[in-house]
Amino acid sequence: MEMLDGKHKVLLFRKLSEQETEDAVKLVFQTEHTFSYSRELERIVTKDGTVVRVGDLESEVSIEAIQGAGDPAGEMLRDAVINGEKLELWEVTVDEELANEEGKYPAVYAQGYLDSWENPASAEEDATISSNFTVELEPQFGFATLTEEQQQAIQYAFTDTLATGTTGV
């Protein structure tokens, strides 16, 4: 078994209202995110010993990125916080070894809301973005398709030295 490299996990987003018309987009320059799952456990002491009552699953995703000038995904996410719009989020593990036979990548899918959006701007560091995505209901696990544009946003592919419009005699 090999270790999974965190840089292979990327987040994609889309407004739920645009599900039928728009592909998901990647927030540029993601530096870190944490997908967390938690449950409240109530310990009840009885005469027979302690029993545990299990609460509902709560999930959230904390997001850190460097601001990209004119990044449409960043602008869409900021506006979603301001307007209280419901979003879709995918955490996609972009690792060719983990892709299935159809070329889809392992992913976690969730719907929810960004409950915060911060743009710290230090004089000595890059301008950053911090946000928190609160998941509604439970995240779902499956495989996600990446468009060519999404794959290029994650990492450019090898390109030959010839112009793309030539056949190379």
Beta strands, E only, 1-154: 9-15, 25-26, 30-46, 49-66, 87-93, 105-118, 128-144
How far is Cα 137 from Cα 163, in angstroms, rounded to an integer? 49
Query: Within a 13 Å sphere around the CA of 145, how many CA atoms are in the beta-carbon half?
Result: 4
Domain borders along the chain are: 6-154
Domain over 6-154 is classified CATH 1.10.10: no
pLDDT for residue 62: 96
Strand pairing category for 105-118 and 87-93: antiparallel
pLDDT for residue 158: 46
Tens place of pLDDT for every residue, the chain, 169 residues? 776 777 789 999 999 999 999 999 998 888 999 999 999 999 999 999 999 999 999 999 999 999 888 888 999 999 999 999 999 999 999 888 888 999 899 999 999 999 999 887 777 778 888 999 999 999 999 999 888 777 777 664 445 555 556 555 5
pLDDT for residue 69: 85
How far is Cα 91 from Cα 8, in angstroms, rounded to an integer? 10
Kind and range of the H or E element at 154?
A: helix 148-154
First to last CA, the chain: 45
96 contact partners, CB below 8 Å, separation of at least 6 = none
Contact by Cβ (8 Å): 65, 78: no
What's the one-letter identity of residue 7?
A: K
Write down the pTM of the prediction.
Answer: 0.82
pLDDT for residue 7: 77
Question: Phi, psi at residue 138, to the nearest 5°?
Answer: -115, 140
